[in-house]
Amino acid sequence: MNEKDPVDLSLDEIEEIEKLTLRWVFQAVYDFGMEAHEIFLKSPDSVKDIAEDITRELLDRLSGFNVQQRVYGTVDYKKARYVILPERTVRQALFIDSKAEKENRSATIQMSQTSMWIRQRRSGNEINEKGLLPEISEYGGKNYLTTTCLIHFMYDDDNNVHHLKEVTIAAIPNGRLQDTYNPTFDDGIWLVGRNAPSRGEDFRVRVSFSKLKEKSAWRIQTLTYEENIKECKGLWQS
């Protein structure tokens, strides 16, 4: 096996792996189709729990090349995997979290869910907080490229019934791509998170889908659910 140590990956290779990973996630959501809509419609659970259950089920159906190694993280789905490329194989620690909200402009990221630095201005102050995930994870004496994605479910309520409208799938850049996606306090992909330091709440940040898409269009993919014709629609955007 021509396996490459993630430590030796170039920035372009990391981009390539993250793009391939997002294609895999996009396909998994697309193949799950209107089943996600039906689960939102009929499940008595909270929307947060519904989103978590759908995320785990749809990704397990398209399992990929898994490594028999347990990984740890505060996300809904986490796997050690091989990324199979034409000329090489790379070990990957994949972390995927799900969100369920009534808007589709952004999503909350906990510091334990990113390997990037959060560089932004808040109330005139410069914020420079390091994500808690390593850029390269180590398990069982092996290195794994850390990759983080989001599956964001947007829904509406009608008489306490949840109607799934849209899913946004996002690839959060690995921390090694910091200079491309968040080089300065005024140039980045982040919005102020919903945390109150005065109440002792942990620091959080929101990733802006529009800002991330401006940096790299393929990192944001969208699927819509047409309830009247019972069809899930979406085309990969490069």
What count of other Cβ atoms lies within 10 Å of the Cβ of residue 185?
16
Is residue 187 assigned to a domain? no
| Regions of the chain with pLDDT less than 70 | 1, 195-201
Is residue 123 assigned to a domain? no
Range of 47's domain? 3-103+134-176+216-232
Is residue 171 assigned to a domain? yes
Distance CA 138, CA 12 (A): 22
Tokens 């159906």 belong to residue: 61
What CATH number corresponds to the domain at position 161? 3.40.600.40
Residue 185 pLDDT: 95
Rounded (5°) CA angle 188-184-168: 10
Distance CA 6, CA 83 (A): 11
Residue 212 pLDDT: 98
Is residue 161 assigned to a domain? yes
Residue 39 pLDDT: 97
Closest CA to 58 of 153, 194, 165: 153
Closest CA to 54 of 100, 21, 22, 93: 100
Number of domains in the chain: 1
Is residue 197 assigned to a domain? no
Is residue 224 assigned to a domain? yes
Is residue 65 assigned to a domain? yes
